[in-house]
Amino acid sequence: MVMPIAELQNVTMTYGAVKALDDVSLTVDEGTALAVLGPNGAGKTTAIRLLTGLKRAQKGKARLFGRNPRSPASRLTIGVTPQEASFPHAMKAGEILDFARKHYAEPAPRDALIEAFGLEPNLNRMAVSLSGGQQRKLAVALAFCGGPRVVFLDEPTTGIDSDSRQRMWRYIQQFKAGGGTIFLTTHYLDEAEAIASRIVLINEGKILRSGTVDDVRSAVQVRVIRFRAANAPDLTAARHATSDAERHTYLSSDADESVRALVKSGLEFRDLEVLPASLESAVNELLKVSS
């Protein structure tokens, strides 16, 4: 039997009257990427703190490489980007990167990190003087700098521009392709689709759904209907989602009935598409049902 890289076993964590995690079990297998999704306060960051040894489970167990995550030996080959990172006031970004890499026997190549995370323009600037997005890129680079076996990324690309996000995704995908393991929390569902092997959707401390991206999409009977027309009509079993000029998007619980309603409306339309629900649509529907 293959030992999971990281694991929560029937974990419950309570803060006052709030259950951050309620009998949660999940596993992260080697060479995979697990994305944990959910609204603020769902318990995602608590899960990371347990698996990286920053918190002790009140009930149940957390395991990292089969050991207690609070043991220093179990944390030697991990990388972490917390939700909020801070840097020394008297060090430049390049100095911090170099200092961190020197703590590891086989660090990740410096030039590759600089390129992947767009650090070159800011290497000689004080880290605390960087913008929020620039600091975020440095924080994520530091998670990978030690050549880790597993990285824990808590909302890694918050505040980062689209081009930089795409570049970071490519590096993370290459890390996974090379056998690396990823535990990711994010509010960007396109990020989860780009990176994750598996999805866990959590809300109010409970797991609502887990599986592949396709598994989560298929958990709801919602379809996306798109077409071009002068107006956005009312459609049976559908709700209007967005309009961009003459391009209209609907979410429908009965796509056949909605398309029949569109035809019967007499509206002139073209470029009709009926598509599976996006991950974002599926997650929103599952959260709505659970609330």
Binned at pLDDT 50, 70 and 90, residue 265 comes out as very high
Q: Is the pLDDT of residue 220 over 80?
A: no
Identify the pLDDT of residue 109: 95
pLDDT reading at 218 higher than 90: no
The contacts of residue 75 (CB under 8 Å, 6+ apart) are: 52, 53, 64, 69
Query: What are the pLDDT digits (tens) for 104-160?
Result: 999 999 999 999 999 999 999 999 999 999 999 999 999 999 999 999 999 999 989
Instruction: Please tell me the predicted confidence (pLDDT) of residue 135.
Output: 95
Between CA 108 and CA 249 the distance in angstroms is 44
Which pTM value belongs to this model? Answer: 0.83
* Contacts (Cβ under 8 Å, ≥6 apart) of 248: 226, 227, 228, 229, 232, 240, 242
pLDDT of residue 283: 82
Averaged over 254-268, what is the pLDDT? 93
Tokens at 178, concatenated: 């090379």
